[in-house]
Each structure stands twice: as structure tokens, then as C-alpha cells.
Amino acid sequence: MGFYLGADIVPALIEHLNGHSARATLCRGCKMLRSEVPIPGSRTLTHPKNISATANRRFNFQVLARHHRFIGKQLYRIRLAGVRQFSKDVVALAYQQLTRKQAGYSIRKIGSASPKIRILYIHNGWAIYNVGLLWFSDADGIQCTLVNIEEFLAHPDMQDEHDILLFGYSNLLGLAENLTLTKRVWTCVHDPVEIYPEVLHWASLKPSPGAISRLKTADKVITISREVQQLLRQAGIRSVRIPTGSLLPVRSLHELDASRDTNLKILTVGRIYPRKNYELFKEIERAARERFGGAIEFSAKWDYVPLPESEYLRRLDASNVYVCTSYQEGGPLPAMDAMRRGQVVLSTQVGQMPELIQNGVNGFVCKTRSDFLDRLGQLVGNSSLLHTMRRNSLLQIQSERGTAAIADAVHRAVMI
């Protein structure tokens, strides 16, 4: 059984555990556990050492490098182990604090220690990449299995083996509307196109009534960007956010050779959809060639089929600036891939880009063609600035979309 506990309950819990011959694991909150949290019989807590929680060292608390917050409060995650009586006692205490809220203690129950999640997808793509591989494959205490929606529709009894059905795309909910679903149902909205028309000024329009109705049938809705989360809130849909990221290998800082940043080498890649707005990219390319001449190079790869990873990495590493001209996105993933390989990103204000780009630090958010050209003008002939921003881009994506950050978001989403 697992619980997220506010820092205020930790001393009481440890005091309660005194005298029990068992062990537990304490995952630290957003800051290091320090001596301000009194632990009977122990010295100052430091990370990442194992420390004794009692004078006679009958059980230990291991402080791990994880971060947990809930409603602005610092939280600690207690993973229980040891004898059966120990678990019963701790669960009893936790429920007591949860129901009576004695002494202002804060606690949120996770549920089972290892929730079993079955992820449903339609084809190899976003749901597999983000939900299956990035979110849950390494999530501590969560078991997940991926299955094609067609197989699930043919054998709906396979839901009996899991606690949660997670529809990898929100539109898959409609395919299962005639089934009797006996488990908790979660779904994910990756891209605004799932609930809005694929047109330039889509955000000013109303979402699809059918899409909103489907989302209201789910026990939990997950979004990947603050943009979509806000729009769903306006439509009366409460959601939790788990950001996406890149699974490409991280490029090391010493691989970013400043001597090769004399010219701008601009790249964009993507599948052929109207929302990618490639016409804007072509306009930027034509105008930039006229203004900057040979100081700037452009490369674009648009196709219905994604590139093999080796070729994709080669193209990314041969460039130093990535340009996204989309008017509707969930990520976009290629821009995050580019950051992970140390590129400066210039992007429209879509998806997660405003969350990741700091103007003038690791990239630029642009609204118009003129914005793109002006920002490119700041980089042309300024190899020092370009190289600094490339380094910042690489560091930023590792901090904001690294394994620890994604794991944090996953556990918060499961907990709420």
C-alpha cells in the first residue's frame, strides 16, 4: 500500500512506527529532508544516505532522489515493506489521518501499491511513444501493458486483469461505447485536433460536442500541455497534465562544436498535415535567403512516413536551429527532439513550446513571419550567442523533460 504524506505527518508516523520490527522507504519531497523534521532517535537526515529512524536501528528510511508535490504542499511518499502487521498498522494510521484530518495532517492515498494499467492504442505512434514508453514503462510501482484497441474490442474480458483502462487517444473512447467497462477509464488528449477543427484560428472556436461528451465519460482525462488543459477547463473538463518528451539519446555538451556555428543551419521535419503550416516555413525560407544570403541554410523533410532514427539523428546533428511553424500542436515532439540534440528552437506559440522556450535564452517563440526573420537576424553572424543558446537548450530540456520530471508528473497524475 502506498501513500503520499505531507511533511507534517512524517514525525507522527515515525513515532507510531517505533517499536515495530520492519522497514519502509521514504521518497523525499521537492527539497532535501533536513533536521527541521524531527526524527526520534536519528541524526540529521541527508541525501542520499540511508539513515536509522530509531536508536536501535530496527528499520531504516531511505531518502531517494524524487520530487512530489500536491496542492502546493511538500509531500513524502512512503512505500511499505516488511511484516504484515506493520503494513496493517500503518494503513490504519494513514486512514485515520485521512478521514479525521487530526492535527492538520495532510495525506493522499494512491491506492494499490502497484496499479495495473492497460493502455489501448490504434497504431504505433504517439500513444505508444508517450504513454507507453515515456510515461509508464519505468514508472515506479505501476504495471502497464499495451494492447491494440482492435484486439481489446474482440476480447473485452482482458480488462479483468487490470485496474485501469487507459485509452491512448481520446477518440478511441467512441470505439468502446457499446462495451461494458468494469474498470476505471482514463484517456489522454495529446493534440488539440482531437477536440477542435484543424484550422488556423481553431482556439477561437468551440470544441466538438461529441469529443467533450466522450471525455465526460472518463474517470480521468490526461493532457500533455497547459494550453489544452486550460481549454478543457473552459469546456467543463477537469484534467491532469503529464508532459511529453523525447526518447532520443541526449547529446553531450562537448559535442556542440562552436567552430561549426558560423552559419545558421535550419531544419524542420514532420508529417504532412495542414496544421504543420509548411507554407509559412517556405515563406520564411524565401525571405531569409533574400535578407541573409549564404549565411543561412535551410533543410526540410516532410513525409507521411517518419525517418529511421539513424537518419533522423544525422539530420538533427547537422543543424543548429530548428523551426516549427505549426498552428496546432500537442508537443511538438520534433522540437523537443531538437532540443535534446542541442538545437536552438524557434517556434510558434503552440503546444508545450511556451513551457520550454525562454526567449533569448534557449530559443524564441514567434507569432508572425517577421518575428521569425527578426529572431534569425539576431543569430546570423553571432556564433557566440548561437552556441550559448544551444547549450542552454540542451540543459533546459534535460531539466524540464528529463526522467525525474516525467516520473514526478506521472505519480502526481496517478495520485490525484
pLDDT, tens only, 54-91? 222 222 333 222 323 322 233 344 433 332 333 444 44
Dig out the grid coordinates for 121 from the structure.
492504442
- The CA distances from residue 73 to 45, 47, 69, 98, 110, in Å, are 20, 20, 6, 15, 16
Dig out the grid coordinates for 27 from the structure.
521518497
- pLDDT at position 128 is 65
- pLDDT at position 18 is 45
Peptide bond into 48 cis (omega under 30): yes
DSSP 75-107: EEEEEEES-HHHHHHHHHHHHHHHHH-GGG--E
Q: What mean pLDDT comes out for the span 216-244?
A: 93
Task: Judge: domain 116-244, CATH 3.40.50.2000.
Answer: yes
Per-residue model confidence as pLDDT tens digits over 107-148: 333 344 467 888 888 776 655 666 777 887 766 667 888 888
- pLDDT at position 384 is 93
Task: Give CA–CA dist 165/117, Å, rounded.
Answer: 6
Residue 95 confidence class, pLDDT cut points 50, 70, 90? very low
Specify the 3-state DSSP secondary structure of 118. strand
Q: What mean pLDDT comes out for the span 15-40?
A: 35
14: enclosing H helix or E strand: helix 10-17
Domain residue spans of the chain: 2-111, 116-244, 253-400
pLDDT tops 80 at residue 48: no
Sequence-distant (6+) residues with CB within 8 A of 285 are: 266, 298, 300
Residue 204 confidence class, pLDDT cut points 50, 70, 90? very high
- pLDDT at position 196 is 95
Top pLDDT among 109 and 163 is at 163
Task: Give CA–CA dist 278/289, Å, rounded.
Answer: 17
pLDDT tops 80 at residue 340: yes
Q: What mean pLDDT comes out for the span 99-106?
A: 37
173: left (phi over 0), alpha (psi -120 to 50) or beta: alpha
pTM, 2 dp: 0.73
Tally of CA atoms within 13 A in the half-sphere of 408 that contains its CB: 21
Task: Give CA–CA dist 73/69, Å, rounded.
Answer: 6
- pLDDT at position 86 is 35
CB-based burial, 371-407: b 16+ in 10 Å, e otherwise: ebbebbeebbeebeebbbbbbbbbebbbebbeeebbb
Q: What mean pLDDT comes out for the span 19-41?
A: 33
- The CA distances from residue 362 to 224, 351, 383, in Å, are 21, 17, 14
- pLDDT at position 274 is 94
Dig out the grid coordinates for 102 from the structure.
487530526
- pLDDT at position 8 is 45
- pLDDT at position 168 is 87
253-400 matches 116-244 in CATH topology: yes
Per-residue model confidence as pLDDT tens digits over 350-366: 999 999 999 999 999 99
Please say whether the beta carbons of 197 and 231 come within 8 A. no
Residue 198 confidence class, pLDDT cut points 50, 70, 90? very high
Task: Give CA–CA dist 369/280, Å, rounded.
Answer: 7
Per-residue model confidence as pLDDT tens digits over 372-403: 999 999 999 999 999 999 999 999 999 898 88
Per-residue model confidence as pLDDT tens digits over 305-331: 778 889 999 999 999 999 999 999 999
CB-based burial, 5-29: b 16+ in 10 Å, e otherwise: bbbbbbeebbebbeebebbbbbbbb
Task: Give CA–CA dist 114/347, Å, rounded.
Answer: 39
Top pLDDT among 74 and 196 is at 196
- pLDDT at position 287 is 97
- pLDDT at position 158 is 86
Task: Give CA–CA dist 197/274, Å, rounded.
Answer: 11
Query: What is the pLDDT of the chain when averaged over all its residues?
Result: 75
Please say whether the beta carbons of 340 and 246 come within 8 A. yes
User: What CATH code is assigned to 253-400?
Assistant: 3.40.50.2000
CA-based nearest residue to 303, from 337, 268, 335, 279: 268
DSSP 334-351: HHHHHHHTT-EEEE-S-T
Share of the chain above pLDDT 70, in %: 69
